[in-house]
């Protein structure tokens, strides 16, 4: 199947345009991840850590999905002057769930019906006949079966071949998939110009993932605020279509404002909630922070804690550290030193350290530390 790291994805983000929009990092920026040896479930967990950088940085993990290597990371140069942006991968769901309208908007027929029922080899054989006859919907179906290795051996070159044929005939799903392959340049010759043209066509046809990623391309073409304003309408389209990445992107634009978009934290929080409900971990992290701080609306410590814990349980490392603080301080939940230490131990195992939490750990008894280690081992 296509690698889960081809278009700017989750999964999501403080990966995004914050530097370009505001020149500052998000609130609660207290943690910094540093390369260190893996922690072991023993006394090493309690050893005092080396001195950390004084510059605070709290960069949450992101959701998984496609990421275009050429684009990912190019917004994290660190100039912090509006000319660069923090990385924003785009979760595009490498292989979406079956939707009979995806393949050319045609009604179900034997090939698509077989695919829907899990009879992939039957779907492949029936679809191949139509694909060879030039049916773009069937070509897209065959390409997807090859890409996923369903009923037949996975073959990305064959997937690219059929996606390419369907893309030429205007199938927006195929245009999006083939554009990703052209950008990646592994199974077909790399062609960024053609990829952008196809991505734009798919976006204009209403493909939400293409809309989001085309917006990112515009940001890359015009770094800084100009690119954000050019991308904003496409992010909005993706958000309106229900794509969590688009909803999060819109939340960041509204939270900071741009030349063309007025700052509106109330609406920004609404979009954070939409993305958080789709299990977008970065939105969950940000929403939790906003709820605790009372940003964009009333404070709600209980809801803030619940969303932070959800993000932490989902694997967001920054959320683990922040959950530790909420347990430590009894915010939105009963104070619990062992639970706080357990979540921070998990964060440290992922190379994230925070001075305030290191000091907290130093104040715990050996018995509490051992209980926390045991709890941490059960949490993940």
More confident call, 102 vs 244:
244
**DSSP category for residue 242:** T
Report whether pLDDT(252) > 60.
yes
The 10s digit of each residue's pLDDT in 40-70 is 333 334 333 333 333 332 333 333 223 233 3
Report whether pLDDT(81) > 70.
no
CA-closest candidate to residue 177, choices 150, 139, 151: 139
Report whether pLDDT(100) > 80.
no
User: In this structure, are residues 68 and 8 in contact, taking their beta carbons and an 8 Å threshold?
Assistant: yes
Q: What is the mean pLDDT of residues 257-272?
A: 97
Q: Does 136 map to a domain?
A: no
User: In this structure, are residues 195 and 164 in contact, taking their beta carbons and an 8 Å threshold?
Assistant: no
Report whether pLDDT(10) > 90.
no
**Domain span including residue 30:** 18-62+81-90+224-379
* Predicted pLDDT of residue 155: 96
Helices 225-240/208-221 angle, 10° precision: 180
More confident call, 171 vs 102:
171
* Predicted pLDDT of residue 232: 97
- Work out the pLDDT band at 5, boundaries 50, 70, 90: very low
Partnered with residue 33 across adjacent β-strands are 352
Give me the number of domains the chain comprises.
1
Q: Does 30 map to a domain?
A: yes
H helix runs in the chain, sequence order: 18-22, 110-116, 120-132, 136-148, 156-168, 172-184, 192-204, 208-221, 225-240, 244-256, 265-277, 281-293, 301-313, 317-329, 337-349, 355-362, 366-379
Q: Does 373 map to a domain?
A: yes
Q: Which of 61-65, 96-100, 106-110, 201-205 has the lowest mean pLDDT?
A: 61-65
Q: Does 52 map to a domain?
A: yes
Give the tokens for residue 213. Answer: 């990623």
Give the tokens for residue 164. Answer: 């390419």
Report whether pLDDT(12) > 60.
no
Report whether pLDDT(302) > 90.
yes
Mean pLDDT of the chain, nearest integer? 79
Q: Does 342 map to a domain?
A: yes
Q: What is the mean pLDDT of residues 352-372?
A: 97
Q: What is the mean pLDDT of residues 231-239?
A: 98
* Predicted pLDDT of residue 149: 96
* Predicted pLDDT of residue 17: 57
* Predicted pLDDT of residue 20: 56
More confident call, 209 vs 19:
209
Q: Does 211 map to a domain?
A: no
- Work out the pLDDT band at 83, boundaries 50, 70, 90: very low
Specify the CATH number for the domain of residue 282: 1.25.40.10
Q: Does 138 map to a domain?
A: no
- Work out the pLDDT band at 103, boundaries 50, 70, 90: low
d(CA 28, CA 40): 28
* Predicted pLDDT of residue 188: 96
* Predicted pLDDT of residue 109: 79
The 10s digit of each residue's pLDDT in 175-231 is 999 999 999 999 999 999 999 999 999 999 999 999 999 999 999 999 899 999 999
Q: Does 190 map to a domain?
A: no
* Predicted pLDDT of residue 112: 86
Please state the pTM of the whole predicted model: 0.76
């Amino acid at each position: 199947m296509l690698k889960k790291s081809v278009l700017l994805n989750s999964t999501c983000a403080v990966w995004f345009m914050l530097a370009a929009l505001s020149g500052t990092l998000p609130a609660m920026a207290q943690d910094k991840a540093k390369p260190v040896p893996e922690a072991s479930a023993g006394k090493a967990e309690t050893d005092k850590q080396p001195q950390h950088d004084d510059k605070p940085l709290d960069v949450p993990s992101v959701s998984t999905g496609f990421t275009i290597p050429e684009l990912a990371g190019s917004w994290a140069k660190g100039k912090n002057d509006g000319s660069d942006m923090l990385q924003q991968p785009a979760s595009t769901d490498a292989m979406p769930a079956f939707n009979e309208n995806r393949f050319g908007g045609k009604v179900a027929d034997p090939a698509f019906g077989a695919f829907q029922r899990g009879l992939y080899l039957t779907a492949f054989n029936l679809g191949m006949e139509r694909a060879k006859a030039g049916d773009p919907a069937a070509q897209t179906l065959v390409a997807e079966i090859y890409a996923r290795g369903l009923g037949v051996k996975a073959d990305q070159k064959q997937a690219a071949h059929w996606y390419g044929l369907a893309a030429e005939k205007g199938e927006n799903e195929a245009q999006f998939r083939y554009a990703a392959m052209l950008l990646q340049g592994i199974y077909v010759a790399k062609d960024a110009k053609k990829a952008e043209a196809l991505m734009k066509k798919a976006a204009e046809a209403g493909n939400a993932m293409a809309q989001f990623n085309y917006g990112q391309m515009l940001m890359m073409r015009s770094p800084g605020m100009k690119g954000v304003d050019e991308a904003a309408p496409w992010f909005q389209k993706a958000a309106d279509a229900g794509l969590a990445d688009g909803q999060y992107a819109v939340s960041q634009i509204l939270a900071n404002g741009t030349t063309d978009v007025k700052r509106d934290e109330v609406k920004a929080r609404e979009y954070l909630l939409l993305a958080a409900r789709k299990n977008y971990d970065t939105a969950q992290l940000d929403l939790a922070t906003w709820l605790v701080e009372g940003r964009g609306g009333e404070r709600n410590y209980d809801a803030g804690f619940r969303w932070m814990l959800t993000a932490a349980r989902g694997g967001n490392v920054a959320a683990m550290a922040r959950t530790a603080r909420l347990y430590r301080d009894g915010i939105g939940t009963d104070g619990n030193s062992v639970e706080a230490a357990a979540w921070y131990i998990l964060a440290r195992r992922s190379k994230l350290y925070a001075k305030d939490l290191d000091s907290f750990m130093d104040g715990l008894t050996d018995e509490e530390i051992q209980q926390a280690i045991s709890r941490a081992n059960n949490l993940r």
